[in-house]
A and B are shown apart, each in its own frame.
Chain A
């Protein structure tokens, strides 16, 4: 039961253009959503998060959009840079019961930004 899905295994964009990474979820109890970036041979690093009470959160070149009715979130990177080339994971959590905010991860999307 894949509760968090990233349906695009890979994405290729040109430097300077917008990168849009998508993520869908099925569990309506999720109330916090995060994006992580992972370089080869390193652990994932936190990028940006959004609470379910918001529909948008920005941090510099990174913006996350949340559409609760569609159970969909997306990460926009503008402008894209070659250093953004990495695997991007979306993740979700909820705080109820014994969840303690444990993260459920999607499969990841490999982003390649060409110079």
Chain B
């Protein structure tokens, strides 16, 4: 009963480096999301997907890319890391029933130095 699994939990990147944050879910949810949370702020939507092969930008997509080749996986790619991308990243998934909201992963804490 894993739910949503994110890896890694922590990462330190140097400016200009690239990395992929992994996210996988085992609930057969069609909808998946990436959010970032900055200190004292709410969660901001980066990208989302309504099914395999379909992705779209959220509120703060600049500097990120995503892909959705399977229902289970929704990786987030940072191509050229910048200090402004220092944040905690959360992946989530949901069913179409909005009454139950999202199931979130435990997060990835990323620091760009």
Question: Which A residues contact B (CB, under 8 angstroms)?
Answer: 4, 6, 9, 32, 34, 36, 41-46, 49, 51, 89, 91, 93, 95, 98, 100-108
Contacts and interface: CB of A to CB of B under 8 A. Distances in A.
B94 to A, nearest CB: 7
Contacts of B107: 41-43
B103 to A, nearest CB: 7
Interface stretch (B12-20, B40-48, B62-70, B75-83): B40-48
A105 to B, nearest CB: 4
Contacts, number: 65
A58 B113 CA distance: 46
Interface in B77-106: 90, 92, 94, 96, 98-106
Contact of B102 (A42, A98, A103, A104): A103
A59 B35 CA distance: 27
Contacts of A36: 101
Interface in B29-46: 31, 33, 35, 40-45
B48 A42 contact: no
Contact of B45 (A4, A43, A102, A106): A102
A89 B42 contact: yes
Given A32-B99, A95-B98, A43 B42 contact: no
A46 B103 CA distance: 7
Interface in B9-29: none
Best-buried of A34, A41, A101 by chain B (most CB within 10 Å)? A101
A9 B107 CA distance: 22
